[in-house]
Amino acid sequence: EAQVTQNPRYLITVTGKKLTVTCSQNMNHEYMSWYRQDPGLGLRQIYYSMNVEVTDKGDVPEGYKVSRKEKRNFPLILESPSPNQTSLYFCASRIGTGNSPLHFGNGTRLTVT
């Protein structure tokens, strides 16, 4: 089954403790991206990647890192999480060209205390 898989689904951590949220897709998509969803703000793009070893900042990249060493994986790294990064995070992928649709994972709910 074609899918985007995020892990974990839920994560509670403390301020300053480094964490990684994984994202993997099995559709051979070139494009992958991360979003955060907050009440009243909709979804905002954090980072995106057009292909392996190519990453770009989205609207709200501060406090986040990403890497794209393999085509299927696009982990989101929070080196020193803070409470304002408490949010619902979505990973998405799509074919790199044209207007192909984004395929989203089921989300990761992160709480930073």
Partner 1 sequence: DAKTTQPNSMESNEEEPVHLPCNHSTISGTDYIHWYRQLPSQGPEYVIHGLTSNVNNRMASLAIAEDRKSSTLILHRATLRDAAVYYCILRTTGNQFYFGTGTSLTVIP
Residues that bind partner 1 (CB under 8 A): 4, 31, 33, 35, 40-45, 48, 50, 56, 58-59, 90, 92, 99, 101-107
Which residues pair with residue 77 across a beta bridge? 20, 65
Sign of the C-alpha dihedral, residues 99, 105, 106, 107? negative
Rounded to the nearest whole angstrom, what is the least distance from the CB of residue 16 to partner 1 in the complex? Answer: 29
Query: Smaller CB distance to partner 1: residue 11 or 43?
Result: 43
Residue that is written with structure tokens 């890192």 in the block: 65
Rounded to the nearest whole angstrom, what is the least distance from the CB of residue 47 to partner 1 in the complex? Answer: 11
Rounded to the nearest whole angstrom, what is the least distance from the CB of residue 106 to partner 1 in the complex? Answer: 6
Size of the chain in residues = 113
Query: Smaller CB distance to partner 1: residue 97 or 113?
Result: 97
Residue type for 80, please?
S
Q: How far is CA 2 from the centre of its chain?
A: 18
